[in-house]
Amino acid sequence: MVEHKPRVLRAAFTLVEVLISLTLLSLVAAGIIYGSAQANRFAEWSSMSLAAQSYALQGLEQVRSAKWDFWTYPVTDIMPAPTNFTEVDIMDIPVSGAPFSVTNYIKLMQISTTPELREVWSQCVWVFPPTGQLYTNTVITYRAPDHQ
């Protein structure tokens, strides 16, 4: 007579369970990679936007620091309205590869002559390389003469 040995029960995964777990693992990994890429893209956009804002403020400060004294003789402060300046520069952010250029448009407009008041616009236009989309950072202020 043949003696039967008792069957040992082993715990194991079926092929369907393994495939489902691999599918879930790949979906989680893809979500983590996508989230990391989006965070990197947003950080790059933020750094470029802050650098462009700095350029717009720099243009505004250049205009505000210029001497404006219309009491001098002969008058040297005759301004055609509006007066526009354009400045092209390299964006001051750390990059590898080709540098990014920005264009700063500065516009002066006479608001009133009594009292003397001008409006100063400084707009920095830049391109976000991954999308090719144009963005504009704008700073606006008023400027009065230097005398009291």
Per-residue pLDDT for 96 more than 70?
yes
Q: What is the pLDDT of residue 78?
A: 57
Question: For residue 109, is it within any domain?
Answer: yes
Confidence of residue 77 (pLDDT cuts 50, 70, 90): low
User: Using one digit for the tens of pLDDT, what is the confidence trace for 110-144?
Assistant: 888 888 888 889 999 999 988 999 999 999 998 88
Question: For residue 119, is it within any domain?
Answer: yes
Question: For residue 10, is it within any domain?
Answer: no
118 versus 84: the higher-pLDDT residue is 118
- The DSSP call for residue 19 is H
pTM: 0.71
Question: For residue 22, is it within any domain?
Answer: yes
Tally of structural domains, the chain: 1
* Mean pLDDT on 41-51: 91
Mean pLDDT of the chain: 83
Do residues 107 and 124 make contact, with C-beta atoms less than 8 angstroms apart?
no
Whole-angstrom distance, CA of residue 140 vs CA of residue 119 = 7
Question: For residue 114, is it within any domain?
Answer: yes
Kindly give, in sequence order, each residue whose CB lies less than 8 Å from that of residue 118, ignoring residues fewer than 6 positions away.
79, 108, 109, 110, 111, 142, 143, 144
Q: What is the pLDDT of residue 73?
A: 61
Question: For residue 8, is it within any domain?
Answer: no
Q: What is the pLDDT of residue 143?
A: 85
Q: What is the pLDDT of residue 38?
A: 94
Question: For residue 27, is it within any domain?
Answer: yes
Question: For residue 7, is it within any domain?
Answer: no
Domain ranges, residue 70:
15-143
* Mean pLDDT on 38-47: 92
Whole-angstrom distance, CA of residue 60 vs CA of residue 55 = 9
Among 5-9, 96-100, 119-123, 131-135, which stretch is predicted with the lowest mean pLDDT? 5-9
